[in-house]
Structures are given as structure tokens and as C-alpha cells.
Amino acid sequence: MFAESKKVVLCTGARTPIGHFSSALSSKKPEDLMRMAIEALLQRSKLPKEAVDGLIVGWVGQSFSAPNIARVTVLKTGLPEKTQAVTVQNNCISSIEAVSAATRFILAGEGELYIAGGTECMSRMPYTIEGARSAKALRSMNTVKEKWGELQANPEVSVVDSIEEGLTDPVKHINMAGTAEVLAQMYGITREDQDKYAGESFRRAIEGWNKGFYQSHVVTAGNNGSTLLDKDEYPFLREDLVTKPQRFAKAPAAFDNSAYSMKQFYQDYGQFIEGKTYQEGAKGTVTLFNSCGRSDGAAALIVATDKKAKELGLEVLGEIKGWGFYGNNPAHMGISPALAAPVALKKAGIEFSALTNIELHEPFAATILSIFKIGKERFGHDWKAKFETGAMNPHGGSIALGHPLGATGARLMLNLLYSMKQDPKSRYGMIAACAGGGMGGAMVVEKAG
């Protein structure tokens, strides 16, 4: 065993713009998006390819189009054939896991420099046929094609939307939007407060783009010399939510409509709404506009020993001080960052109050506002104050920017590092995110310099 204490740093990173679902980037496969991010990183950092010991990629919608997408990307980007390649899946914290894994590999003596990141093209997530190949209708591809019209009536076969299946917890049988509504009902989070928070996320994201912040690390996504997308797509599709916030009220509630009432929601999921029972007049709060969008994109950054980074003349942006993961009830998955943060902070030896910069994943406004409540009540962590002073998500978050599942953790880290770079007062920063299944991840860094 070669494990030893080393100073692990984060260097130059790059990402594609985030494309909205079924829009600008939907023609690109996840491995294409990952390749774009890594090629941009290599170009910007001037990192010699032969210096890369490994590539760690987070990818949620794993399919067999690119088995071990990290290895496929190594070969497509011309990294050395010998390069270690690992694909990780930890739902929405997959690329936090990728950065953590790269750090572990370095500390274990497996290498000195890794590229870590993540990718997702939700627009290309497949509809799948589920069933055993022992079923007569599934014994061969030819049989499937011949029997296609009969498959949906076959009790041994089901045709499934992989997105909807993936966004529904298989243990608690509740989808992600449902978990947000559970928290909203538990903690008394109003729709008005959720819409207000979401509006601010959009405002900050658009301002961040207009002021040039995102040009520090976002590269144009192209195809054969033509531009597909040069900036994050969704904020500019929803600019009217900032100029005309009254439009938030036009979005129907996900669980309070003519097809599905709040009374039915409580019947189905009331077991998870701790301390509350259904009261006549209860209102649904979660909507399309106060939730993050489905998205496409990729992001990557360099993880290396401080010694190796200096040898190669790389720009060091921060030092990893500690990280932590914490699991909770899948039906309450959205508050897991508040639970993971104390683990990461303890390992880093840093108090929450010392954090000058935070990037927190925004799956739903309801989950963020719930974190504001329980973070302070349970741990004395005043997330709300960090947000209101601009220390948290100063350039917008996932509600506005989008959520390309496997790439979001790396996107958070890039936001954090480049925010800290331009802020002379920054010193300690943290990223945190929740993930389906009830997993939270957080990582603490110290600004270089």
C-alpha cells in the first residue's frame, strides 16, 4: 500500500454550455459532450496529454452506447492508451464523486494527475424494453421487431421511459418532484417563497452571463465548425420570469390540479410528511418554474498533487480540504446537503461561518428553502444568510442554469473556483448537492494563493 498524505489541488476546468431538454445539444451524445469539455480543458490549461494518469467521469444515464464512458472519452480525446479510466454513478452527485475518487486515487499513490468531471444528455435517454430474454417476444432482435405491435400487451414485457423510471425512487416509490412537495408540506414552504427564490436564481444566472462571469470557463459547443450553443440555454428561454415575475403564478402546481389533488397526494405520500396530516384547503407548491430543468452538458477539471501542478506550470485554483457524503430517507432526499455539509466541514476542520463562497445545487426551490430551515435549526448553519449576502450561488443555480445530472457536481465546482478567483476576499468555499435515493455530497476547498 502506497497511501500517503499529499496536498491535492484543483486546476483549470471547462464545461460546455448547458442545453435545455430536447433543444440545442440534443443531437450530441454524452460522450461527445464529455469530449468537448476535455478538449477545451486541455487547450486552456496547456496540459500535456501524457501527464494525465486517469480520467474519472460521472454519468447517471449509463447505457451501452459508450460502455465505461471514461474509457471511450480517453480514446476519443487522444489521451494515452494506458490512462486509467473509471465511470462512476452516484445519481446527481456523480461528478462530486468523480472529484473525490480522483483525490482518493492520488492519495493511494495510483497517480499524480487526473481529469475529473461528468456528462449527461437527458435528451437522448432511451425508452427501454424491459423483460427477460426467455420471453418468446424478446428472444432476438428480429423477434422484437416482428412482435413490436404486440409487446405492450405482453405481460412479460414492459416499455419504459428511462427518465421517468430514473427519477422515481424504487424503494419509496416517489418521484423527485414528489419529494420536493413532501418537504414543502413538512416545513411549511409556500409557493410564493419558492417562486421568489427561483426568480432570483434566474436573475443571477442572466446577470452572470451578461457580466462575463461564465466566459471564464464555458466554451462554445459546436458541430463540424458550426455553433450549436454558446451560452446556457434555459435562462434566456425564461428571461420573462425576471422581467415579469407574475408569470410564475401561471405555472400549474404539479400535485394540485384537476387530475391529481393534494388530498390524493397526502393519501399516497402522507406517510413521508412527518408531523402533518391533510387539512382541507392545503395547496400544492411545486411547479415547473420553481424546479430545475432537464438538461444536456458536460464539465471537467484537473485534480492533481500540488507538486505535479507546479511542475507542469498549471494554474492552481484551490486546494481540497475535505469532503463528505451522507444518506437520508429517499423521500426527503432534497435536504441531504444540509446533512453532508457538517461531515465535509468537520473533515476540513472549518466552521460553516468561515465559508466565504458556497455553490448549492438547486433541484427545487422547495428543497433549498427546507435546507435553510433545518440547516440552521439542527446545525446552526445559516444558509439563508449566505444566499442573501451573495456568498451562495452568486451567479445563479440549477433552477436557472439546468441540471445535466452527471455533470452538475463539476459544474458546481467550476462556479465555485472561478467565483473565488475573482473575489479577493474569498478563502474557503464549499459545494453541496443532493441526489435521488437520499444521498448528499459536499466538498470544501481553500482558495489558492
d(Cα 15, Cα 413) in Å, to the nearest integer?
Answer: 11
Quote the mean pLDDT of the chain.
97
302-329 in b/e burial notation, b at 16+ Cβ within 10 A? bbbbbebbeebebebbbebbbbbbbebb
- Measured at the CA of 80, the angle between CA 74 and CA 83, to 5 degrees, comes to 65
d(Cα 31, Cα 42) in Å, to the nearest integer?
Answer: 16
| 403, 95 Cβ separation under 8 angstroms | no
Q: How many CA atoms lie within 13 A of 123 on its CB side?
A: 18
For 247-298, the pLDDT digits (tens) are: 999 999 999 999 999 999 999 999 999 999 999 999 999 999 999 999 999 9
Query: Residue written as cell 498533487?
Result: 305
Mutual angle of helices 30-45 and 69-76, in 10-degree steps: 50
Mean pLDDT of 46-52: 98
Q: What is the per-residue pLDDT for 317?
A: 98
Percentage of the chain lying above the pLDDT 90 cut = 96
User: Does the pLDDT value for residue 64 go beyond 90?
Assistant: no
User: Does the pLDDT value for residue 2 go beyond 70?
Assistant: no
d(Cα 45, Cα 53) in Å, to the nearest integer?
Answer: 16
d(Cα 428, Cα 405) in Å, to the nearest integer?
Answer: 25
3 band by pLDDT with thresholds 50, 70 and 90: low
For 120-130, the pLDDT digits (tens) are: 999 999 999 99
d(Cα 259, Cα 323) in Å, to the nearest integer?
Answer: 43
Q: What is the per-residue pLDDT for 348?
A: 98
User: Does the pLDDT value for residue 230 go beyond 70?
Assistant: yes
Q: What is the per-residue pLDDT for 211?
A: 98
| 232, 214 Cβ separation under 8 angstroms | yes
Mean pLDDT of 65-94: 97
The helix/strand/coil state of 426 is coil
449 band by pLDDT with thresholds 50, 70 and 90: confident
Cell of 369: 428553502
d(Cα 80, Cα 186) in Å, to the nearest integer?
Answer: 52
User: Does the pLDDT value for residue 1 go beyond 60?
Assistant: no
Q: What is the per-residue pLDDT for 17?
A: 98
d(Cα 180, Cα 259) in Å, to the nearest integer?
Answer: 19
Mean pLDDT of 27-40: 98
Phi, psi of 268 (to 5 degrees): -80, -40
Query: Residue written as cell 451560452?
Result: 231
d(Cα 39, Cα 14) in Å, to the nearest integer?
Answer: 9
Q: What is the per-residue pLDDT for 288?
A: 97
| 120, 60 Cβ separation under 8 angstroms | yes
d(Cα 50, Cα 113) in Å, to the nearest integer?
Answer: 10
User: Does the pLDDT value for residue 235 go beyond 80?
Assistant: yes
Mean pLDDT of 108-136: 96
Cell of 12: 483549470
5 band by pLDDT with thresholds 50, 70 and 90: confident
**How buried is 51 (Cβ within 10 angstroms: 0-12 exposed, 13-18 middle, 19+ buried)?**
middle
Q: What is the per-residue pLDDT for 197?
A: 98
Lowest-pLDDT choice from 48-62, 84-98, 151-165: 151-165
d(Cα 164, Cα 301) in Å, to the nearest integer?
Answer: 30
pTM of the model: 0.97
Q: What is the dihedral of CA 352, 217, 23, 393, to 10 degrees?
A: 20
| 414, 215 Cβ separation under 8 angstroms | no
The helix/strand/coil state of 72 is helix
For 367-421, the pLDDT digits (tens) are: 999 999 999 999 999 999 999 999 999 999 999 999 999 999 999 999 999 999 9
Q: In terms of Cα–Cα distance, which of 162, 98, 151, 77 is closest to 441?
A: 98
Cβ-Cβ contacts under 8 Å for 261 (sequence gap 6 or more): none
